[in-house]
């Protein structure tokens, strides 16, 4: 067990430095990462988790920055996980949203972590789920997840967040038909940021028409903001805070169930990789399909 993950293995997530080291160990993966998350899951879920998603350039980071003072007034402390593209050389976060966000004036009330996507599909890093659970166990009352913003439909932030806000811009309506199936189904609230740009009214019309087609009793609300000067941000936060307050317990239960399933999957893959490296995995020169079936049979027998 490395020193970097000792605090996480023992369940001491409250110290900021220990928390950062625990998340670093999670990003590195392996048995230590799984043990840290398992320990975190022993504590009752209590944090609210807000997902902020949308296409690249929508202004998600700026909007989070504008929402932050309101969130701090409401929750007292906020943790932010911002997923960035990975460097092809280092595998680390390439852009580093913290460059665009200055939280120093909030002192210890904000925990910020930029996470590398490392090629993971779905708009979030593979380690994000475990990191959310660790932050929850550490007592952070609100965790904000900013997704990568890759514009794909297979965004899975819904599995982690209690509520999701989708951030778009005026002018995005030209490509709306090609993208709406994924993004409109993600959101509990929709934000047209950079509302001082041309095409706002048309974007509102297109978005509201698409949301009317969703199989929900009440379509999600559409908000307009200019994050850089704070216009519309108080109204947006008031709505988001109410949505978070109204989030059913089933949302947290779903997040925990997702963590258990993914943890079991990780453990199974780790066990199988270890088995493949063992002498027991040696396979005779048979047809590939027969060899694969025999290999799995030996693996399952070994697990028993």
Residue 212: CB partners within 8 Å, gap ≥ 6?
A: 219
Confidence of residue 276 (pLDDT cuts 50, 70, 90): confident
Confidence of residue 150 (pLDDT cuts 50, 70, 90): low
Map out the domains of the chain with their CATH numbers: 1-42 (no CATH), 45-247 (3.40.50.300), 257-303 (no CATH)
Task: Tell me the average pLDDT across 85-104.
Answer: 48
Query: What pLDDT, on a 0 to 100 scale, did the predictor assign at position 44?
Result: 83
Query: What pLDDT, on a 0 to 100 scale, did the predictor assign at position 154?
Result: 41
pTM: 0.77
Predicted confidence (pLDDT) at residue 64 exceeds the cutoff of 80? yes
Strand partners, 81: 113, 145
Query: What pLDDT, on a 0 to 100 scale, did the predictor assign at position 228?
Result: 94
Q: How far apart are CA 110 and CA 162, in angstroms?
A: 20
What six digits make up the tokens of 170?
A: 């005026």
Contact 86, 116 (CB under 8 A): yes
Number of other residues whose CB lies within 10 A of the CB of residue 18 = 18
The CA-CA-CA angle for residues 86, 91, 93, to 5°, reads: 45
139: region left, alpha or beta (phi > 0 left; psi from -120 to 50 alpha): left
Q: What is the mean pLDDT of the chain?
A: 77
What is the Cα gyration radius of the chain? Answer: 21
Contact 82, 51 (CB under 8 A): no
Q: Please tell me the least confidently modeled range out of 113-122, 200-209, 242-251, 278-287.
A: 278-287
Confidence of residue 275 (pLDDT cuts 50, 70, 90): low
Name the most confidently modeled range: 41-50, 112-121, 251-260: 41-50
Write the burial class of residue 176 (CB in 10 Å: 0-12 exposed, 13-18 middle, 19+ buried).
Answer: middle
Higher pLDDT, 94 or 208: 208
Query: What pLDDT, on a 0 to 100 scale, did the predictor assign at position 29?
Result: 80
What is the torsion angle, in degrees rounded to the nearest 10, for the CA atoms of residue 113, residue 182, residue 68 and residue 251?
Answer: -80
Q: What percent of the chain has pLDDT over 70?
A: 62
Predicted confidence (pLDDT) at residue 215 exceeds the cutoff of 50? yes
Strand partners, 133: none
What's the per-residue H, E or C state across 4-63? HHHHHHCCCCCCHHHHHHHHHHHHHCCHHHHHHHHHHCCCCCCCEEEEEECCCCCCHHHH
Starting at the earlier edge strand, list the strands of the sheet with 163-168: 110-116, 78-84, 142-146, 48-53, 163-168, 189-192, 221-224
Query: What pLDDT, on a 0 to 100 scale, did the predictor assign at position 78?
Result: 95
Predicted confidence (pLDDT) at residue 28 exceeds the cutoff of 50? yes
- Tens digits of residue pLDDT in 96-122: 444 456 555 566 889 999 887 655 554
Predicted confidence (pLDDT) at residue 253 exceeds the cutoff of 90? no
Task: Characterize 213-240 residue by residue with b for buried, 16 or more Cβ atoms within 10 angstroms of its Cβ, and e for exposed.
Answer: eeeeeebbbbbbbbbeeeebbeebbebb
Q: What percent of the chain has pLDDT over 90?
A: 33
Which 3 state secondary structure label does DSSP give 195?
A: coil
């Amino acid at each position: 067990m490395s020193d970097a993950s000792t605090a996480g293995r023992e369940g001491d997530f409250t110290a900021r430095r220990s928390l950062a080291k625990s998340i670093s160990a999670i990003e590195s993966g392996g048995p230590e990462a799984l043990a840290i998350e398992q320990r975190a899951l022993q504590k009752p879920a209590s944090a609210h988790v807000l997902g902020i998603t949308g296409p690249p350039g929508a202004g998600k980071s700026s909007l989070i920055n504008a929402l932050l003072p309101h969130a701090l007034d409401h929750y007292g402390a906020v943790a932010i996980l911002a997923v960035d593209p990975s460097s092809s050389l280092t595998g680390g976060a390439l852009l580093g949203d913290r460059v665009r966000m200055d939280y120093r004036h909030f002192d210890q009330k904000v925990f910020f972590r930029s996470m590398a996507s490392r090629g993971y599909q779905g708009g979030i890093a593979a380690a994000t789920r475990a990191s959310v659970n660790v932050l929850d166990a550490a007592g952070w009352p609100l965790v904000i997840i900013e997704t990568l913003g890759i514009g794909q439909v297979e965004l899975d932030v819904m599995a982690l967040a209690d509520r999701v806000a989708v951030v778009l811009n005026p002018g995005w309506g030209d490509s709306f038909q090609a993208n709406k199936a994924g993004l409109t189904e993600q959101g509990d609230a929709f934000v047209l940021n950079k509302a001082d740009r041309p095409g706002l009214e048309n974007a509102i019309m297109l978005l509201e028409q698409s949301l009317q087609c969703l199989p929900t009793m009440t379509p999600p609300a559409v908000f307009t903001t200019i994050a850089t000067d704070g216009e519309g941000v108080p109204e947006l936060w008031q709505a988001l805070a109410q949505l978070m307050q109204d989030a059913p317990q089933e949302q947290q239960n779903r997040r925990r169930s997702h963590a258990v399933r993914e943890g079991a999957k990780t453990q199974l893959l780790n066990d199988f990789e270890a088995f493949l490296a063992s002498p027991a995995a040696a396979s005779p020169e048979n047809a590939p399909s027969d060899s694969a079936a025999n290999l799995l049979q030996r693996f399952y027998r070994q697990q028993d």
